[in-house]
Amino acid sequence: MEVSAEAGRSGASSCGGTRLEVYQLTGRPGVRAIGEIGLVTRTAWREALTRLLRSSADRLHVDMSRVAFIDVAGVTDLAVAAQSLSGGRRIVLHRPPPQVARVLAVCWPELGGIEVAP
């Protein structure tokens, strides 16, 4: 697995055909994930979430519109990140794959630190 940082990109990970790229959003605090979030790319995903949580903004945005796949562990990382927020702060997921909302509803039905936006 290869993990690197490039201009405008906060992290990339790939192995075989599996790839994840994570970019900082412009104009609001957050990241854009592109690719697949699974076993091979989990380290890069966790690192991106850790960097995201360093922001002091109330709403942290994660654009997932170009995420082709996310496994339960990747959704768990989102839930754990949201649980670490305090003071009304929240993570706002934009256009995540359908399984994200389903896993959150089943495993963390009372989780208040995360919002799924269309």
43, 54 in Cβ contact below 8 A? no
Domain spans of the chain, in order of start: 2-117
Q: What are 4-43's pLDDT values in tens digits? A: 333 344 555 445 567 999 999 999 999 999 999 999 999 9
Q: Is the pLDDT of residue 94 over 50?
A: yes
What is the pTM assigned to this prediction?
0.84
* Overall size of the chain counted in residues: 118
CATH homologous superfamily of 2-117: STAS domain (3.30.750.24)
Concatenated DSSP letters of 20-33: EEEEEPSSSSEEEE
Q: What are 32-71's pLDDT values in tens digits? A: 999 999 999 999 999 999 999 999 999 999 999 999 999 9
Of 33, 27, 29, 28, nearest to 9 by C-alpha is 33
